[in-house]
Every structure is written in C-alpha cells, then in structure tokens.
Amino acid sequence: MAKNFSYWPEGWPRELNYPERPVHAFLEYTAERVPNRIAIHFGGMVLTYSELKTLVDRFAAALAALGIQKGERMAIHLPNCPQFAIAYYALLKIGGVFTPLSPLLSPREASHQLSDSGAKTLLTLDLLHPGIKEILKETEVERVISTSIADCYNALIAPLKPLGKLPVPDTLDMPELIAKHEPDPPEIQFDVKTDLAHLAYTGGTTGVSKGVMLTHANVVKNTLQFGCWMSGAQLKITDDQRVELVFPEGVDPVTDRPVAQDRETALVVVPWFHAMGTIGYLNNMVSGGTTMVVFPRFDPQEYLEAIRKFSATTLGGAPQLFVPLVNQPDFEQYDLSRIKIAASGAAPLPVSVLEKMKETFASGLVIEAYGLTECTMGAACNPPGRSKPGSVGLPVFDTECRVVDPETGEALPPGQEGEICIKGPQVMAGYWNRPEATAEVLKDGWLYTGDIGREDEEGYFYITDRKKDMIIYKGYNVYPREIEEVLYTHPAVELCAVVARRDETGNEMPVAFVKLKDGMQAAEAELMAHVNDQIAAYKKVRELLFTDDIPVSPAGKVLKRELRERL
C-alpha cells in the first residue's frame, strides 16, 4: 500500500536530501555558524556554542589519550547536565560508541547493560557512583571518569550553589582531563552507514533490555527528519557536506514557519539518556542552533517559572511531564503566549490533557509524535497546524508505516487495528549480539514494532496499545488505552493504567490502577461506574486499585510489567 500524501502539509518536501556526515558535525557547524549564541543554560551556568565546542574538543583529546578506540563503547551515567553534552559529542568525535546508562536503573539492570554492551569506560556522577560501584567488578569496565554538578560552578558563586563535590576514589576527574588537554583531538574517518554512533537499550517494559545498534546515518537522518518536519525546509547539501535550509519561493522562514533556525529557546527536561532526549532534545536542538535551558530533574513549579524567566518558545516531553503541569493549581495564571510548539511523545497523551494544553498555549500547536528506540527516535508526527487529537500524525519524510494483522502479517486497510510496522532510514541496524531477536522484528526492511494501532483515510496513525499489553477477555480483544482514556475524563484521576489479571480459568480481566489528584477524592464504585457505563460489557474493569505511584520508565512509559507483578 502506497504512502498516503493526501493531507501532507503544503509546501513541505515529500523527501529530504541528507548529508553523509557523522553526528558530531551538528555541533561543529552550529558553532561555526553562530559561535556566540547561548547553547546551554544550566542553573546559572551559561555556555555558548563556541565554548561548548572547545570543551568537546578538549575532552575528545583526553578520551583519545586514554586509549579509547573507534568502535569502543563508553557508558554515560549522568542526569541532564553540561557534562553529558560535552562527553556525548567528544566520544562520537573520536569514533566511540555512546551507550546511555540511566541513573534510574537498579544495580542489577545497570550490571546487565554494562556487561551486555562490553563498555570499558564509564562516566558517572559523584552522587551516583556509590550506587553502581559494587557491580563494576562484574563488568568489563576498566576505567571510571567522574564529575559533579558542583563542577559547573566557580568559587565566586559557590555560596549561591552550596552543592559540594564528593570524593570519588579510584576514578579520573573529568574537569582535570579537560584542563590537561588542548582542543586538538585526532581526525577520525567515518563510514556513516555502518559505523555505530549509539548502542541504546530498550526500556525493558516487556522483558530483558536489548541493545539497539544505531549508525551515524540513523542518528543524523532522524534528527533532520524531525528538524525539517517543524520548519518545512528542504536540505541543500554543499560539497563539504554542510547543510543549508531551502524554503519555497515567497516563504519567510521566520514568520511563516512555527520554528526558525538559531532563534528558539527550549526547556529541556527530557532525559538525554533516552532516545527522545538524545535525538529530539539534544541533537535536534544543537542542529537548529536552539538555546537549551537544561534541567536535571522535573519540578512543575520550577518548569513553569522557567517558561517566563527564559522566554521559552518550545517545550516537550512525555505525558508524565504534561499531566502534573496542567494540574498545577495556578497553571492557568502563567503567560504561555510565547510557546510556539509543545511536543509530546514516548507514550499516549490523554485526550483530556491534550485539550487543556491546546486551550492554554496561544499557538495551539500541541503536537504528538510516535517512535521507539528501534527507529532511533521517531517515525510519525502531527504536522504543525494540522494535528488530530489522539493521533500521532503522519509518517515523516522518507518513512512508511503500515498496519498488519498480528497473526498473519497481512496488510490491513484504513480503520482496522493491527500491528504497526515501519520502514525508513532511521530503522536500526539490529539488536546487539541478538540475531534471532533481530530476525523477529526486522522482516524485508520493515520494523515490526509490537504496537497496536490503525490508520485513517487521510493517512494519520493512531496507537491503541502495545501488542503484549492487549487483554483477551473470553476471546475478545480489550485494549487498555481505550479504558484509560475514559478514566482520564473523571476530574479526580491524575494517572491511571490498566493491566490484566488471570483468573483460575485462564481468562484475562481488566484491572485499573488509579492515582488521584492531590486533594481530590473518589470512591472505587464511583470510578468503576464512570468507566464501565461508557464501554462495552466485555471491556469492563473488573477491579480498581488506588495507588500513590504509577511506575514509569525514564522515557515516561508506564511499566505495566511492574503493575502485573503487583497483582
């Protein structure tokens, strides 16, 4: 079935030109283009793009001097902070492979990822090192580099930032390595189509976390796919593989497009150790010359204040960012008129929250997108100004999506639900050291995602559920997302998740976990009636449990496996 272009945004190219260059070139060219533009605000610390590039070059030289070879994996075990961005681009510049290690992982999970990746170098934070120190002997890690949030502040302002730097014995100090080396790293030759840039691990929401092999070409192309999706630009590639943005005649890229190069300011709280963070909120920001206001953690009040303080123009994250944001008691008192785009991804955004956001943001551009680690970051996105509530939008440039029968693999027509499959230049090379698992999901160039969804007549896609989250009740397919959407319409519900409980006959029954909003009350019977009166009898919730915590992955996806274990 051919890609449906009937609702393709007017003036947007159908295909993009792509440069053949490695990922770190994003920073190289932006620093050359706008050297004095602020790249990072971090708790009062400011770095321009030129300064960021210099620090990257110094750390790249240091990593090379330590003996890190092209193709060698290095784990970055940090929250969002300037050191993360410096280490990421420095590692890629010397041909190393970035493997993000979430600070939220348990020691067992961290041990698995370090061992599976074969990482020989670990960059960690002084506050995080004690929690990971004991498992390092179980891995191939040979050297540990440490840093501290306190490293971001000089002696003069230390009284304003009384953080203190903890001693981390038997590790190399990142600031010392940067200070000791000149910004003159070795020149490395790349084959962008085959050389790995990332070894990113799946969230483990359905089982053991697997390493996803992403080449430099995967990362560069997916970054540009989403950058150009917001601007509507075509790419002109120069002889030296630089990129110039080209717009249709008569289009002013500043006034006629939602976002413009070298002009935006973004609030960045999406973790850079997650695919959405690395591509959407690091590489995409750097490529576009965006000023990043970076947060190591999310605090709704601080976030809202930062919108005003920094005159932010774009923001985004998972639904677990927006749900508490719109539920802040004074949310409607904040002036959000400068926000041009608010983007949501990683998990479905409740329609009730989406509508409240659209009412609040002056532009009305609240955009949902869809992707997974196995396609670098993203495959589909709502076009600016043509979003459909509940939809993840159209497949982006050079990307095809289709819906197939989960049992037979037969392509299904619009309107019918089945498994979402993706084909495009951002699809992974495969799973690290797992040829059988790779063969299960990569078939004839198509990535079988395990997500259930449908396509409408206009080419927009809708994600219904995870294939493995689907509940089978007396032979009927029950999709938890539909039940959750109804629960979210109750004014007392802040977060919810629906999973299956097996009875003694092997039947699966829908069970809802519900977290109530602060200060709100609702009885179990009230919520059961609220949802069950609005859905078919076979979909009805059979049990409802109140909880203070809905577990989510670092990406913001609800960990339904953990909820099933609670049952």
pLDDT at 449: 94
For residues 367-406, one letter each, b for 16 or more C-beta atoms within 10 angstroms of the residue's C-beta and e for the rest, the string is bbbbbbbbbbbbbbbbbbeebbebbbbbbbbbbbbbbbeb
pLDDT, average across residues 138-155: 94
pLDDT at 560: 84
For residues 461-488, one letter each, b for 16 or more C-beta atoms within 10 angstroms of the residue's C-beta and e for the rest, the string is bbbbbbbebbbebeeeebbbbbbbbbbb
pLDDT at 415: 94
Task: Tell which wins on pLDDT, 559 or 180.
Answer: 180
Residue 506 clears pLDDT 90, i.e. is over it: no
pLDDT at 474: 65
Number of other CB atoms surrounding residue 509 within 10 Å: 17
**Residue 113 and residue 135 in contact, taking contact as beta carbons nearer than 8 Å:** no
Rounded to an integer, what distance in angstroms lies between the CA atom of residue 147 and that of residue 531? 49
Rounded to an integer, what distance in angstroms lies between the CA atom of residue 316 and that of residue 290? 14
Residue 475 clears pLDDT 90, i.e. is over it: no
**Residue 385 and residue 365 in contact, taking contact as beta carbons nearer than 8 Å:** yes
Q: Residue 349: helix, strand or coil by DSSP? A: coil
pLDDT, average across residues 238-262: 92
pLDDT at 495: 92
pLDDT, average across residues 408-417: 92
pLDDT, average across residues 188-210: 85
pLDDT at 477: 64
Task: Tell which wins on pLDDT, 181 or 384.
Answer: 181
- Burial grade of 197 (CB within 10 A; 0-12, 13-18, 19 or more): buried
Question: What proportion of the chain, given as a percentage, has pLDDT over 70?
Answer: 94
Least confident of 13-17, 204-208, 297-301, 456-460: 204-208
**Residue 259 and residue 341 in contact, taking contact as beta carbons nearer than 8 Å:** yes
Residue 504: pLDDT band by 50, 70, 90 thresholds? Answer: low
Residue 205 clears pLDDT 90, i.e. is over it: no
Summarised one tens digit per residue, pLDDT across range 121-133 is 999 999 999 999 9
pLDDT at 524: 93
Q: Which of 18-27, 105-114, 156-165 has the highest mean pLDDT?
A: 18-27
**Residue 543 and residue 511 in contact, taking contact as beta carbons nearer than 8 Å:** yes
Summarised one tens digit per residue, pLDDT across range 274-322 is 899 999 999 999 999 999 999 998 888 899 899 889 999 998 887 777 7
pLDDT at 554: 64
Q: Over the chain, what is the mean pLDDT? A: 90
End-to-end CA distance of the chain: 42
User: Residue 479 has which token pair?
Assistant: 């999709």
pLDDT at 207: 53
Q: Residue 121: helix, strand or coil by DSSP? A: strand
User: Residue 169 has which token pair?
Assistant: 């014995």
pLDDT, average across residues 45-52: 97
**Residue 174 and residue 168 in contact, taking contact as beta carbons nearer than 8 Å:** no
**Residue 101 and residue 122 in contact, taking contact as beta carbons nearer than 8 Å:** yes
Question: What proportion of the chain, given as a percentage, has pLDDT over 90?
Answer: 66
Task: Tell which wins on pLDDT, 504 or 271.
Answer: 271
pLDDT at 392: 93
Rounded to an integer, what distance in angstroms lies between the CA atom of residue 536 and that of residue 186? 64
pLDDT, average across residues 486-503: 90
Number of other CB atoms surrounding residue 252 within 10 Å: 9
pLDDT at 476: 63
pLDDT at 464: 82
Measured at the CA of 264, the angle between CA 460 and CA 425, to 5 degrees, comes to 45
Q: How far is CA 23 from CA 20, 28, 221, 223, 445, in A?
A: 10, 10, 10, 9, 23
Task: Tell which wins on pLDDT, 477 or 235.
Answer: 235
What secondary structure does DSSP assign to 405-464, as a single string? -TTT--B--TT--EEEEEESTTS-SEETT-HHHHHHHEETTEEEEEEEEEE-TTS-EEEE
Query: Helices 319-326 and 300-309, interaxial angle, to 10°?
Result: 90
Handedness of CA 471, 475, 476, 477 (dihedral sign): positive
Residue 555 clears pLDDT 70, i.e. is over it: no
Name all domains of the chain by residue range, CATH numbers in brackets. Answer: 47-214 (3.40.50.980), 470-566 (3.30.300.30)
pLDDT at 361: 67
pLDDT, average across residues 233-246: 92
Rounded to an integer, what distance in angstroms lies between the CA atom of residue 404 and that of residue 169? 54
Rounded to an integer, what distance in angstroms lies between the CA atom of residue 46 and that of residue 25? 22
